[in-house]
Chain A
Amino acid sequence: MNFIIGGLMFLLCAFIGFKIANNYKRKLQFITDFKTLLDYLETNILYLQDTLEKLIRDKMESFHSDFKNFLENYLQNLQNSTEFLEKWLKEQNLIDTETAEIIKKFMLELGRQDSTAQLQSIIQTNEILAKHTERAQGEQKKGYMSARLGIMGGLALFIIII
């Protein structure tokens, strides 16, 4: 009986550890994907001048699922994105509010400016996001530790229980 309970405790701790690590990983992926989108837009708005929808759809497949979902919803609400972005800001819990605010602000302006102003906005957002990316990278390291801690803690509990 103790063996089973110990095993379950080990699995639970390991699961929590991995879950935390995964959340940090997803957060970093989301921010990195956003930065990739910024770089992509910077090049294409300057040269190709394709419409926003075409540009985003062309690039969409290369992003991770969280950011891809975000973009899909954004494109669905492209003509009136304010409401969608307000709702997203309130409901999302993947990234911190400060970073989400930056993303929201940028997405609200996206497509509403001429190419010079749009490029300026991309460059500025990219610069602001640099420290957020660094922070997310640091947090991802914490995430690895959480995973390790989960396994170690689970093992310790398993040993104590049996």
Chain B
Amino acid sequence: MLKKILPTRFMRSLDFLQVDRLNEIRLRANCPTIVYYGGKYFLGENGLADSSKDALNVTSQELNDIVFRACECSIYAHNEELKQGFVTLQNGIRIGICGEIVTDKGTIKTIKNFSSLNIRIPREVKNCSLTALPYLHNENGIFNTLVVAPPGAGKTTFIRDLSAQLSDKFIAKNLLIIDERNEISATCNGRTSLYVGKYSDIYSSCSKEFGIINGIRTMTPDIIVLDELANKSDIEALYNAVGCGVKVIATTHSKDYNELQSKPFFRELLKMAIFERFVVLSNAKGPGTLDNIWDENNTCLYCR
């Protein structure tokens, strides 16, 4: 998929690398290209480069072309994503986009003149949630769980695998994934590119609010899985879901459990006592390192 969107000279360079080790490509207009390849490196003509002088520089036109191709040559069809600063490719590769924001009466219309892109390549790490799984359910069912981790620490990978484990293990439970950025399942034409379980229902590319309200009405889920809680409306929608007796598994950005508790926004959420388990991931031993699991009473159930 990368081949379809990147300029030829970049693809020639990536041919020197093992694509399955590649996590991220950072492209900035007229600046050296950086790749995350088990560490931070410059991307040169023949794979990794030693210095910024040897690195490939991307032009503004090339950035525009990459976004155009990532949007399947149809910007209008991906404008809702663009407005939120990203485009997701068919296989779950997410391109974060910076550029000039076009607004009209305070509402964002689109982004133009792209200045930098962050291409993130998703990983499917099978069974990565197995260590945590026994702590996340009991004989009465699943606990409402919040996965806490800093960016790039494997939150999405974790809940993807957790969804698959829960879906395959608890067949009697209906599991609904609300995949706002289409990163969890990478659904295209009704088919998932990344495994999220045989019995999972997926709302892709829709807001959490819409997914929760309509999902409860129409799909009668027992468990709802969603990524990246970020604002008040997400929490309100979540509160409605829990009020309907639905179990929720969500993720959020935070360095650790203590930092989460210090955020005013989450302090309210913690007061609501929605979540019964907190899974903390970090980059300590590579992305997806399970640091600890807390319960709602601040008791540490698991510690690395």
A interface residues (Cβ-Cβ under 8 A, vs B) = 45, 49-53, 78-80, 111-118
Contacts and interface: CB of A to CB of B under 8 A. Distances in A.
Interface string B52-70: 0000000000000100110
Contact of A49 (B65, B77, B82): B77
Interface residues of B, number: 14
A115 B73 CA distance: 13
B76 A113 contact: yes
Contacts of B69: 79
Interface in B63-108: 65, 68-69, 71-77, 79, 82
Interface of B: 65, 68-69, 71-77, 79, 82, 109-110
B141 to A, nearest CB: 39
Contacts of A80: 65
A115 B76 CA distance: 4
Contact of B73 (A49, A53, A118): A53
Contacts of B68: 79, 111-112
B76 A49 contact: yes
Main secondary structure of the interface of B (DSSP, over half): helix
Among the interface residues B69, B73, B76, B82, which one has the most CB atoms of the partner chain A within 10 A?
A: B76
Contacts of A113: 75-76
A79 B73 contact: yes
Main secondary structure of the interface of A (DSSP, over half): helix
B79 A115 contact: yes
B73 A114 contact: no
Given A50-B74, A51-B72, A112-B68, 8 more contacts: A50-B77, A53-B72, A78-B73, A79-B73, A111-B73, A111-B74, A114-B79, A114-B110
A114 B72 contact: no
Contact of A51 (B65, B73, B79): B73
B76 A118 contact: yes
Nearest to B67: A112
A162 B68 CA distance: 67
A114 B109 contact: yes
23 contacts: A45-B76, A49-B77, A50-B74, A50-B77, A51-B73, A51-B74, A51-B77, A52-B73, A52-B74, A53-B73, A79-B65, A79-B69, A111-B74, A111-B75, A112-B75, A114-B75, A114-B76, A114-B79, A114-B109, A115-B76, A116-B109, A117-B110, A118-B76
Among the interface residues B68, B69, B75, B77, which one has the most CB atoms of the partner chain A within 10 A?
A: B77
